[in-house]
Amino acid sequence: MENKSTNGIFLLIATAILAGSLLYVGNEFVQSNKDNQQTSQGITNTISVIGEGKSKVTPDTLIINLSVSEVAKTTKEAQSKANEKIGLIQDVLEKASVKKDNIKTQNLSVYPEYNRNNNTQTISGYRSQQTLTITLEGQTFVDQGNAIIDKISALGNVNVDNTSFEIKDKIKGLADARQKAFDDAKAKAEQLAKM
Protein backbone atom coordinates (compact mmCIF):
# COMPACT_ATOMS: atom_id res chain seq x y z
CA MET A 1 0.00 0.00 0.00
CA GLU A 2 2.75 2.45 1.00
CA ASN A 3 4.75 1.37 -2.01
CA LYS A 4 1.90 2.22 -4.41
CA SER A 5 1.40 5.62 -2.74
CA THR A 6 5.13 6.41 -3.00
CA ASN A 7 5.15 5.36 -6.65
CA GLY A 8 2.09 7.56 -7.31
CA ILE A 9 3.73 10.59 -5.63
CA PHE A 10 6.98 9.92 -7.54
CA LEU A 11 5.03 9.68 -10.80
CA LEU A 12 3.15 12.92 -10.00
CA ILE A 13 6.41 14.78 -9.21
CA ALA A 14 8.07 13.40 -12.37
CA THR A 15 5.08 14.53 -14.45
CA ALA A 16 5.18 17.99 -12.87
CA ILE A 17 8.94 18.30 -13.55
CA LEU A 18 8.44 17.14 -17.17
CA ALA A 19 5.54 19.57 -17.70
CA GLY A 20 7.60 22.40 -16.15
CA SER A 21 10.55 21.55 -18.43
CA LEU A 22 8.33 21.53 -21.52
CA LEU A 23 6.76 24.84 -20.48
CA TYR A 24 10.22 26.35 -20.01
CA VAL A 25 11.48 25.00 -23.34
CA GLY A 26 8.29 26.18 -25.10
CA ASN A 27 8.58 29.62 -23.52
CA GLU A 28 12.24 29.90 -24.53
CA PHE A 29 11.35 28.87 -28.09
CA VAL A 30 8.56 31.49 -28.31
CA GLN A 31 10.80 34.16 -26.78
CA SER A 32 13.63 33.25 -29.16
CA ASN A 33 11.27 33.34 -32.14
CA LYS A 34 9.90 36.70 -30.99
CA ASP A 35 13.43 38.08 -30.68
CA ASN A 36 14.20 36.79 -34.19
CA GLN A 37 11.16 38.59 -35.56
CA GLN A 38 12.24 41.79 -33.84
CA THR A 39 15.75 41.67 -35.23
CA SER A 40 14.87 40.53 -38.75
CA GLN A 41 11.87 42.82 -39.26
CA GLY A 42 12.76 45.63 -36.89
CA ILE A 43 9.04 46.10 -36.08
CA THR A 44 7.03 44.47 -33.31
CA ASN A 45 3.45 44.72 -32.13
CA THR A 46 2.20 46.07 -35.48
CA ILE A 47 -1.39 45.82 -36.70
CA SER A 48 -2.27 46.53 -40.33
CA VAL A 49 -5.70 47.72 -41.41
CA ILE A 50 -7.21 47.84 -44.87
CA GLY A 51 -9.72 50.48 -45.89
CA GLU A 52 -12.35 50.23 -48.60
CA GLY A 53 -13.72 53.11 -50.62
CA LYS A 54 -16.25 53.26 -53.44
CA SER A 55 -17.29 56.19 -55.56
CA LYS A 56 -20.35 56.35 -57.82
CA VAL A 57 -19.83 58.48 -60.90
CA THR A 58 -22.43 59.12 -63.60
CA PRO A 59 -21.20 58.53 -67.17
CA ASP A 60 -20.93 61.71 -69.26
CA THR A 61 -19.93 60.27 -72.65
CA LEU A 62 -21.55 57.87 -75.14
CA ILE A 63 -19.39 55.98 -77.66
CA ILE A 64 -21.11 54.56 -80.76
CA ASN A 65 -19.20 52.12 -82.99
CA LEU A 66 -20.74 51.44 -86.37
CA SER A 67 -19.65 49.88 -89.65
CA VAL A 68 -20.55 50.01 -93.30
CA SER A 69 -20.03 47.05 -95.64
CA GLU A 70 -20.63 47.21 -99.42
CA VAL A 71 -20.00 44.65 -102.19
CA ALA A 72 -19.44 45.41 -105.88
CA LYS A 73 -17.81 43.88 -108.97
CA THR A 74 -14.61 45.97 -108.59
CA THR A 75 -12.72 47.43 -105.65
CA LYS A 76 -13.35 50.94 -106.99
CA GLU A 77 -17.12 50.40 -107.12
CA ALA A 78 -17.19 48.80 -103.65
CA GLN A 79 -15.17 51.68 -102.21
CA SER A 80 -17.39 54.24 -103.95
CA LYS A 81 -20.57 52.64 -102.52
CA ALA A 82 -19.08 52.53 -99.00
CA ASN A 83 -17.94 56.17 -99.26
CA GLU A 84 -21.43 57.18 -100.37
CA LYS A 85 -22.95 55.51 -97.29
CA ILE A 86 -20.34 57.13 -95.02
CA GLY A 87 -21.26 60.49 -96.57
CA LEU A 88 -24.93 59.94 -95.64
CA ILE A 89 -23.90 59.05 -92.07
CA GLN A 90 -21.78 62.21 -91.84
CA ASP A 91 -24.79 64.27 -92.98
CA VAL A 92 -26.86 62.79 -90.13
CA LEU A 93 -24.07 63.55 -87.65
CA GLU A 94 -23.62 67.10 -88.95
CA LYS A 95 -27.36 67.81 -88.58
CA ALA A 96 -27.13 66.43 -85.02
CA SER A 97 -24.32 68.96 -84.29
CA VAL A 98 -21.65 66.31 -83.70
CA LYS A 99 -18.17 67.88 -83.92
CA LYS A 100 -15.87 66.54 -86.66
CA ASP A 101 -13.21 65.81 -84.00
CA ASN A 102 -15.69 63.39 -82.41
CA ILE A 103 -15.98 61.26 -85.58
CA LYS A 104 -13.08 58.92 -86.26
CA THR A 105 -12.51 56.26 -88.92
CA GLN A 106 -11.14 53.23 -87.04
CA ASN A 107 -10.81 50.74 -89.88
CA LEU A 108 -10.89 50.67 -93.67
CA SER A 109 -10.48 47.45 -95.64
CA VAL A 110 -11.20 46.11 -99.13
CA TYR A 111 -10.97 42.39 -99.92
CA PRO A 112 -12.25 39.87 -102.48
CA GLU A 113 -15.42 37.81 -102.03
CA TYR A 114 -15.34 34.22 -103.33
CA ASN A 115 -17.81 31.70 -104.76
CA ARG A 116 -16.87 28.17 -103.73
CA ASN A 117 -18.12 25.24 -105.85
CA ASN A 118 -16.74 21.68 -106.16
CA ASN A 119 -13.43 22.46 -104.42
CA THR A 120 -12.82 25.49 -106.64
CA GLN A 121 -13.22 29.14 -105.82
CA THR A 122 -13.70 32.14 -108.04
CA ILE A 123 -13.82 35.82 -107.17
CA SER A 124 -17.42 37.03 -107.21
CA GLY A 125 -16.71 40.63 -106.26
CA TYR A 126 -15.03 42.88 -103.70
CA ARG A 127 -16.15 44.04 -100.25
CA SER A 128 -15.32 47.43 -98.79
CA GLN A 129 -15.70 47.84 -95.04
CA GLN A 130 -15.35 51.01 -92.98
CA THR A 131 -15.72 51.38 -89.20
CA LEU A 132 -16.53 54.67 -87.46
CA THR A 133 -16.39 55.67 -83.81
CA ILE A 134 -18.66 58.53 -82.72
CA THR A 135 -18.18 60.24 -79.36
CA LEU A 136 -21.13 62.16 -77.89
CA GLU A 137 -20.84 64.51 -74.92
CA GLY A 138 -22.93 67.19 -73.24
CA GLN A 139 -26.05 67.16 -71.11
CA THR A 140 -28.33 65.50 -73.69
CA PHE A 141 -25.84 62.93 -75.03
CA VAL A 142 -28.18 59.98 -74.35
CA ASP A 143 -31.16 61.48 -76.22
CA GLN A 144 -28.83 62.68 -78.97
CA GLY A 145 -27.36 59.16 -79.27
CA ASN A 146 -30.80 57.54 -79.53
CA ALA A 147 -31.87 59.95 -82.28
CA ILE A 148 -28.62 59.42 -84.22
CA ILE A 149 -28.88 55.61 -84.03
CA ASP A 150 -32.50 55.75 -85.28
CA LYS A 151 -31.60 57.97 -88.26
CA ILE A 152 -28.47 56.00 -89.20
CA SER A 153 -30.34 52.66 -88.96
CA ALA A 154 -32.98 54.07 -91.36
CA LEU A 155 -30.25 54.48 -94.01
CA GLY A 156 -30.05 50.68 -94.32
CA ASN A 157 -27.03 48.38 -94.50
CA VAL A 158 -25.29 50.08 -91.55
CA ASN A 159 -24.31 48.00 -88.52
CA VAL A 160 -24.36 49.57 -85.06
CA ASP A 161 -21.69 47.26 -83.65
CA ASN A 162 -21.84 48.45 -80.05
CA THR A 163 -22.42 51.40 -77.76
CA SER A 164 -20.75 52.13 -74.42
CA PHE A 165 -20.99 54.74 -71.69
CA GLU A 166 -17.77 56.24 -70.37
CA ILE A 167 -16.53 58.78 -67.84
CA LYS A 168 -14.46 61.63 -69.24
CA ASP A 169 -12.77 62.55 -65.94
CA LYS A 170 -11.96 59.24 -64.19
CA ILE A 171 -9.29 60.81 -61.94
CA LYS A 172 -11.87 62.69 -59.83
CA GLY A 173 -13.85 59.50 -59.12
CA LEU A 174 -10.67 57.57 -58.26
CA ALA A 175 -9.50 60.35 -55.92
CA ASP A 176 -12.87 60.31 -54.14
CA ALA A 177 -12.75 56.50 -53.73
CA ARG A 178 -9.15 56.69 -52.48
CA GLN A 179 -10.09 59.31 -49.85
CA LYS A 180 -13.00 57.13 -48.65
CA ALA A 181 -10.65 54.14 -48.36
CA PHE A 182 -8.17 56.22 -46.34
CA ASP A 183 -10.94 57.45 -44.01
CA ASP A 184 -12.20 53.89 -43.56
CA ALA A 185 -8.71 52.57 -42.71
CA LYS A 186 -8.14 55.47 -40.28
CA ALA A 187 -11.45 54.80 -38.48
CA LYS A 188 -10.57 51.08 -38.11
CA ALA A 189 -7.11 51.93 -36.77
CA GLU A 190 -8.56 54.38 -34.23
CA GLN A 191 -11.10 51.77 -33.10
CA LEU A 192 -8.34 49.17 -32.59
CA ALA A 193 -6.19 51.66 -30.70
CA LYS A 194 -8.98 52.11 -28.11
CA MET A 195 -9.14 48.35 -27.37
Domain ranges, ordered by start, for the chain: 1-46, 61-170
Q: Collapsing DSSP states into helix, strand and coil, what is residue 30?
A: helix
**Which DSSP category does 98 fall into?**
-
Distance CA 57, CA 6 (A): 82
When pLDDT is cut at 50, 70 and 90, the band that residue 191 belongs to is confident
Is beta strand 158-166 parallel, antiparallel or unpaired with respect to 120-136? unpaired
CATH number attached to the domain at 61-170: 3.30.70.2970
More confident residue, 158 or 167: 158
More confident residue, 42 or 125: 125
Run of H or E including 57: none
pLDDT given for residue 73 in this prediction: 94
pTM comes to 0.60
Distance CA 9, CA 3 (A): 10
Distance CA 5, CA 11 (A): 10
Distances (CA, A) of 191 to 47, 51, 181, 187, 188: 12, 13, 15, 6, 5
For the cut 70, the answer to whether the pLDDT of residue 88 exceeds it is yes
Name, in order, each residue with C-beta under 8 angstroms of 26's C-beta and a sequence gap of 6 or more.
none
Q: What is the dihedral of CA 27, 28, 30, 36, to 10 degrees?
A: 160
Considering 8-17, 71-80, 161-170, the range whose residues carry the highest mean pLDDT is 71-80
For the cut 60, the answer to whether the pLDDT of residue 46 exceeds it is yes
pLDDT given for residue 53 in this prediction: 81
Q: Collapsing DSSP states into helix, strand and coil, what is residue 195?
A: coil
Considering 9-23, 40-54, 64-78, the range whose residues carry the highest mean pLDDT is 64-78
Q: Are 55 and 174 in contact (CB under 8 A)?
A: yes
Q: Give pLDDT tens digits for 92-141.
A: 999 999 999 999 999 999 999 998 888 888 889 999 999 999 999 988 88
